[in-house]
Structure 1
Amino acid sequence: MRYTEDETGLLNNFAVEPKMYEAEPPSGNEKRNYIILGSVAASLVVGLFAIAASVS
């Protein structure tokens, strides 16, 4: 376990640091999926606003 001890005998515990890694850029297929899901979400929001406007 990683810890330090000061001159009075108190211990300071430190968390174990996770391994670092570089994120990979999205592939063409992932980009296409993001566009499709974004357009579905946007159309759902627009549809809900249209329903709320027509009901009120």
Structure 2
Amino acid sequence: MYTTRNEDGILNNYASEPVMYFAESPSFEQQQNYAFQGAIAFLLVAFTFLTAFAAS
């Protein structure tokens, strides 16, 4: 941590910045996995709403 002190004696603390890097594009298998997870999530939410409408 980087700390400075001004003329009044007040301390200022600065966090160290993390190293930046560029994200890599997901592979084709990862993209398929994300699409499958999205479809399962959609079906779960749709089933929940349909159950709520049927119960009311």
TM range (shorter): 0.7 to 0.9
Aligned partner of 1:11 in structure 2 is: 11
**TM-score by structure 1 length?**
0.83
Report the Cα distance in structure 2 between the residues aligned to 1:21 and 1:38, rounded to whole angstroms: 27
Amino acid aligned to 1:54: A
**TM-score by structure 2 length?**
0.83
Unmatched 5+ stretches in structure 1? none
Number of residue-to-residue matches in the alignment:
56
Kindly report the root-mean-square deviation, in angstroms, between the aligned alpha carbons of the 2 structures: 1.3
Report the Cα distance in structure 2 between the residues aligned to 1:16 and 1:36, rounded to whole angstroms: 39
Report the Cα distance in structure 1 between the residues aligned to 2:49 and 2:9, rounded to whole angstroms: 63
Report the Cα distance in structure 2 between the residues aligned to 1:49 and 1:15, rounded to whole angstroms: 46
1:13-32 matches, cutoff 5 A: 13-32=13-32
Report the Cα distance in structure 1 between the residues aligned to 2:7 and 2:34, rounded to whole angstroms: 55
Identity among equivalent pairs (%): 45
Moved over 4 A (4+): none
How far did 1:54 drift? 1.3
